Structure formats: structure tokens, C-alpha cells
Amino acid sequence: MLNEANPKMEEKQIEEKETNRNVEVAPALIAVHPNQNSVAVAIGSDLRVYDLLGDCAVSLPDDSSPPFHKDSIRAIRYGANGKLFVSAGDDKVVKIWSAESWKCISAVCSEKRVSAVAISNDGQHVCFADKFGVVWVVDLRDINGNQAVVDKKAAPLLAHYCSIITSLEFSPDGQFIISADRDFKIRVTVFPKGPLDGAHEIQSFCLGHTEFVSCLDFVCTVDYPQGYLVSGSGDSTVSICSLVGYYIWISP
């Protein structure tokens, strides 16, 4: 029943609730430095970093245009060597930060909203996937953390053909880039020596899931240093596979 004293205000509150139900809220994201030097958290468009060694919050100088993110952040990632950090999302901007000075050192414009990011093991390339299913690559070999912000352009690397890519990972040896999508496919692609020319050699597909793949990661052991690929899915299963493509189901 509407409030008789102020029915218009009550109606406005109901309309706002109905509108908010249709707004997609980005989940909170957490990334930890590989050496546990810092932790990064993204909530909406807000990016925060905490220095675990200095026990203090980190300032994030951003001289790029526009500065900081203007819409929901969908992906954050530290590089394997701990020198780079990448954030990207619905504002179609990929920001590359020095994880040492925490200065934004490059900004890349995407044609579509960004759904996933990855950094090559040597820190020379950043890859990101957009909502149309295309993975792009950015060459960072001419960038250092002490110069002014550099605006870079991305080149197309590979595509999943209109299926949203949910996760990107480099294999522990850096030889492959693994991409997963909402059509339950996991694609293992050879990461080429000249990635700006595209990645055309597909190593294999991992096709064990029956619903969208939500996340990927690698687990390395002493007996298998090249790592097992772990994937989670909307079919309520977690799986482990080697890059030759066989699956071991561990969580029905």
C-alpha cells in the first residue's frame, strides 16, 4: 500500500528498485602480488591497492586520458614477475600500471567492453578479451616505468567468434595462451614469437564442460612442472587437465 501522506515519493522509490534490478553489478575482484608485496581490490569503477610490506594504502598516479576507470572494472591481473598490473572493464580502457611505482604507464582503448586480461610471463605483452570474443595483444617492449604515459594500440590475436571470453591464462612455460568462453570451450593456442601478426596455430580444445567456463588457472607440481590446467564451470564441476586435452573430474 502506498504511503497516503506522500504517495509520489513512495512510487518513486518503487520505480528506483525496479530499475536497479536491471542494472548489472560488477563483482568485487581481488588480486594478490606473486611475492605477496601488495593486494589489489576493484569494486565497481574503484581500484584500490594496499602495500602489505609498508602496511599502508597505495596512491595510484594516473596521467592518462581519461584518468582512472569511469565504469565497472571487470578484470585485474598482476604479471608473473610482479612488475606489471593491468585493470580493464566496461569503460573500454585497458590500463597498464607499474606494480613498483604504481604509476599508470600506458592506456589502451578497446573497441568493446573488456572481459578478461592476461600478461605474458616475460612481461612484454598484455592480452585482453572483449565482449565480442576477440583477444587483443599489446606490445610493451618499448615501455619503461619511468617515462610519461604511452598510448598504445592493440592488435587482434585470436577470436572465439561471438562468444564472450570469460578467462585468459598463459601456460607456466609461456608457450601457450589459454582462453575460455561462455560456450563451454577451452582453447589452447600457441603464443607466437610475433604476436602482433596473430596467433593462428591451435594446439587443442578442451571440451569436457557442458556449461560456460567461468575461470582458469594452472597448478604446478614437482612431478609435472609444466602444470595442470584447472577450470571451473557453470555446470557445477571443476576439472583438471593437461594441455594434451584429457580431463579428470574432481568436483561433481
**Per-residue model confidence as pLDDT tens digits over 21-36:** 455 566 799 999 999 9
Could you tell me the CA-to-CA distances from 79 to 64, 101, 181, 186 in Å, in that order?
21, 14, 22, 22
Q: Which domains does the chain have, with CATH numbers?
A: 25-168+191-208 (2.130.10.10)
What's phi and psi for 251, nearest 5 deg?
-150, 90
pLDDT of residue 223: 85
Residue located via cell numbers 567456463: 213
Taking a C-beta distance cutoff of 8 angstroms, is the pair 210, 184 a contact? yes
The 10s digit of each residue's pLDDT in 231-245 is 999 999 999 888 765
Of the chain, the percentage scoring pLDDT greater than 90 comes to: 69
The answer, yes or no, to whether residue 207 has pLDDT greater than 70, is yes
